[in-house]
Amino acid sequence: MLRGSGERDLPIGWRDDVMSSELKDVRLSVIDERIKNVKNVIAVSSGKGGVGKSLVASALSLTLARRGYRVGLFDLDLTSPSTHIILDVGKSRPIEDRGIVPPRIHGISYMSITYYSEDKPTPLRGVDFSNALIELMAITRWGDLDFLIVDMPPGISDATLDIIRLIKRSKFLIVTTPSKLAFETVKKLIKLLSDLRVEIIGIVENMKIKESDFIKSNADKLGVKYLGGIEFDEGLEDALGDVEKFSKTEFFREVWRMAGELLRALASGAQ
Amino acid sequence: MHEWALAEALISTVTKVLKSERLGKILEIGVGIGELQDIDLEIFKFALMQLRPDYLKDAEFKFKIVKTRLRCRVCGHEWSPRKDELDEGVREAIHFIPEISHAYLRCPRCGSIDFDIIEGRGVWLEYVKGKR
């Protein structure tokens, strides 16, 4: 920062060319304010795409809401959002009130870029991705929540780094498939989060097609809690977009059970 | 009403400057406003007046409107989209999230969707002048 003068009676100035980017970008200073009444922020993440993050995030949000918790679901997969399909958000829209207030969908406060992109392809390079994410975080007023579930895009690039930077108390829930290929990228995510001292609350193994302890044993080696395996559910595809049907699937029942474990783990961690 | 959220962000940032630099008084606040976000300046000014705390009562806000400049990554063409060419729904979407322009705008020369926003997005703090 530039100090124009040390004299008490002369103006002291800060110019944009010397101002820190954090102060220049006014949005950053209200992100904490927007989530100050959110007790827990859980980022559902994976190194790999197609492992079921959005399904886990949607089911987890619904199970927590049905247990009586106040829940928000924030779809941050800005270029490939899908939770709006899973939950069939229909013609709901955010309310404009000194920012935007997420609509309530099936008992969940819900926010997605699709309210603005209308399902058009929205290609975003790194800086644009970050800007869109920061904008959404700065203008969305979540209110009082017990849980804000964040559906993350795959990988360890902008979204992961931004969430870690901007919501320092985020906890990560990791999703993988039984595949060695998926777990190879998940290992990198775990290493990154561990290096940055970000809490990992557990790992979910999705789409199991045979008995194997490959993921569990590796999770144990890495010191990450294995929350359980979900068998490949053939009925899941037909339940997408129908929340009542979705909540009767084996997949949903397993996520319900895991949510119970998560709640116990969070409660014991808070003591 | 998005202007209110941005006004709140600006006041919050200026307050951080005031505290971190131990200023007794803020005299002038320079604010950059990108044209792409289509901010209603009157609502924004009104929101600032309503939200500003006592220690900013005497501060003067100076606004600098920055024209939108986009550059195509494929053919290098630079252009400024005209607001009147966009329908109201698109303008509103871009108003909330300027990067949504990537869903709706195309390079007028080659039709590519691959462009950079060079200038004119968002709201930012240009400078603060104050006294200790």
Q: In this predicted model, what pLDDT tens digit does every residue of B83-95 receive, in sequence order?
A: 888 889 999 999 9
Q: How many CB atoms lie within 10 A of CB A1?
A: 14
Give CA torsion, residues A125, A126, A130, A132, to 10 deg: 0
With an 8 Å Cβ cutoff, the interface of chain A facing chain B consists of 1, 8-16, 19, 23-30, 33, 96-100, 113, 116-118, 120-125, 128-129, 131-132, 135-136, 138-139, 141
Nearest to A121 among B1, B103, B121 (CB): B103
Full domain range(s) for residue A220:
24-270
Cβ neighbors of A239 (< 8 A, separation 6 or more) are A245, A246, A248, A249
Which pair of tokens denotes residue A169?
A: 């108390």
CATH code of the domain in which A194 resides: 3.40.50.300
Task: Please tell me the distance from the alpha carbon of residue B38 to that of residue A123, in angstroms, as a whole number.
Answer: 21
How many angstroms separate the CA atoms of A152 and A149, rounded? Answer: 9
Cα separation, A27 vs B125, in Å, equals 10
Torsion, CA A149, CA A56, CA A122, CA A110, rounded to 10: -40
Range of the domain at B99: 2-131
Mean pLDDT on B20-44: 91
Q: What is the mean pLDDT of the segment spanning B55-73?
A: 95
Q: What pLDDT band is residue B25 in, cutting at 50, 70 and 90?
A: confident
Q: How many domains does chain B have?
A: 1
pLDDT of B28 above 80: yes
pLDDT value, residue A203: 97
Q: Where do runs of H (alpha helix) occur along B39-113?
A: 41-51, 88-96, 101-104
Q: Is residue A46 situated within a structural domain?
A: yes
Contact A122 B99 (CB under 8 A): yes
Q: Does a structural domain hold residue A2?
A: no
The CATH number of residue B26's host domain is: 3.30.2320.80
What's the pLDDT tens digit per position in A216-233?
999 999 999 999 999 999
The pLDDT value given to residue A38: 98
Number of structural domains, chain A? 1
- Residue of chain B whose Cα is closest to the Cα of A140: B5
The per-residue pLDDT of chain B, averaged, comes to: 92
- As a whole-number percent, the residues of chain B with pLDDT over 90 amount to 76
- The parts of chain A modelled with pLDDT lower than 70 are 1-23, 270-271
Whether residue A10 lies inside any domain: the answer is no
